Amino acid sequence: MTTFRKSLLAALKSFFRGKSFLQALLAFWISPRKLKDQHVNGTTIDPSRTIADFMREAEELLLGPIEGDQLRTFSLDLKAQFRERLQTHPECMLPSFNHLLPTGKETGQFLALDVGGSTLRVALVELRGQETHGKECEIVRMISFKITPEIKKLEGMAFFDWMAMRIHNVIRKDGVADTQDPIPMGLAWSFPVEQVSLGGGLLMGMGKGFLATNGLLGQDLGEIIKSACQKRGLNVQLASIINDSTATLLSQAYTHAETRFGLILGTGTNIAVHLPVSAISRSKYGTRPESWFDSASHVIVNTELGMFGHDILPVTRRDLRLAIVEAVETTGLLGGELPPSLADPYSLDTEILSRMEADTSSTLEKAQVAFTSAHPCPIPATPIDISVIRTLASFISRRSAALLGAAVFSLWELRHETEIEQACEDAEEKPAVEEDLAAPPHTKVAFTGSVIEHYPGYLAKCQNHITTLISGAENPILAAGSIDLVPAVESSIIGAAVALGCALAEGQAA
């Protein structure tokens, strides 16, 4: 039991540390050791329990903690943890320099960059304004460049010189470079950076096999990119730097003014939220000019959702024992022999499980092909074996959708509470703000990521849990409100362009 308990507990916690929820939870179903003594002289040992008994217990242990009032209790505990860490913990609830949401009136063509773990994208984005309903923004031109293992090995400025060449190749085709004035750029940067201004950040280790930071750690990312581009005859200025969750929020806030959250759920998970400045401890803001505080009433906060949930995530015995291994050992699942390919951590890929859950046929032929092609079984898998694994996957995905829904709801409640608290502090604006807060909040949560976009039924389950939690809210104003999960298409590129538009508008206003 001990191996399972440690393994699946770590998997549950890793859901909130940013792992893909099914990679985190299901990959740890697989024991690092091979099964022993399952066969004696070619004869399978009789199972000690039935599959039906095993599945009844699995359902109770995995889904029981999210049923009835228990999910509401979890959301309250999580909200308390969110509130506490707005004041303390230096690694989560991090205020950005982005304090303005788009008005929808930002217009023009904007140069946007998106640098991820495997791709560099350079795009020219046209923002046309909210009044153009349905045509608010368009990617005029975008070219993607693969960041190959060889590119990752480029050290220091060599990597940024490679970037600059690609930027030059894109913008020269549109005449953007035909100007004496600096060309402003917006950047979505998917790596750690210590941001020191809206368009400035000190380079930190990139990880993921990149060597670009060699000799450049602690230097300003904006100046590095500017210097590399100057070698190509490009006069550029990095005017805004954002992460992927902030980009997701901003990309939808431009077209939907009710957007206050950006949700990522793919290979990682995170949420950005727009909160009152006063909700966050002043110490978390680091060193920034008083002029920033004079102009900012709210700020986009990077929650680092993976840092939450410790000691409050529901834990059961089956969280503490590798589920498939237990089923193999005690019920004879898969003929009592584990596929060798499942001996390694993270070997049960989310995509395989997604394909299995997508098969709703009575024969489960597609599910069987999906599983056995990835994990050949020493003893051919039966339809019952596939049904058991598929059902276990559904228990985990349902539970994950519930926990994520509770996280979104908790942040939504917290945001409303902090708005009220700020209104009470600001005597001049109190009457107007209180009038706004008396109306039920109808909020949109922009989302992106392979799991929430493509995993069968996940989005609908998450939305249903959120709606149920809202209907049971103690505050009648919140109970009459709503949260809608809305997709953010090309969020990194659009978000980078919107952030740039906001930055330029703020600069002109100043």
Q: Is the pLDDT of residue 241 over 90?
A: yes
Sign of the dihedral defined by the CA atoms of residues 367, 372, 375, 379, in that order: positive
In whole angstroms, what is the distance from residue 415 CA to residue 299 CA? 12
Topology, domain 105-242: Nucleotidyltransferase; domain 5 (3.30.420)
pLDDT over 70 (residue 240): yes
The whole-model pTM stands at 0.85
pLDDT digits (tens, 9 = 90+) for 21-49: 343 333 333 333 333 344 433 444 456 78
Query: Do 28 and 13 meet the contact criterion of CB atoms below 8 Å apart?
Result: no
pLDDT of 17 higher than 90: no
* pLDDT surpassing 90 at residue 504: yes
pLDDT digits (tens, 9 = 90+) for 270-327: 999 999 999 999 999 988 999 999 999 999 999 999 899 988 987 765 554 467 777 8
Cβ contact 441:416 at 8 Å: yes
Q: Looking at beta carbons, which pairs linking 222-228 to residues 24 or more positions away fall under 8 Å?
A: 224/157, 224/160, 225/160, 225/163, 225/164, 225/185, 225/187, 227/157, 227/160, 228/157, 228/160, 228/161, 228/163, 228/164
With 70 as the cut, is the pLDDT of residue 98 above it?
Answer: yes
Mean pLDDT over all residues of the chain? 86
Selection from 505, 492, 506 nearest residue 112 by Cα: 492
What confidence tens digit (pLDDT) does each residue in 309-322 have? Answer: 988 987 765 554 46
Q: What are the extents of the domains in the chain?
A: 105-242
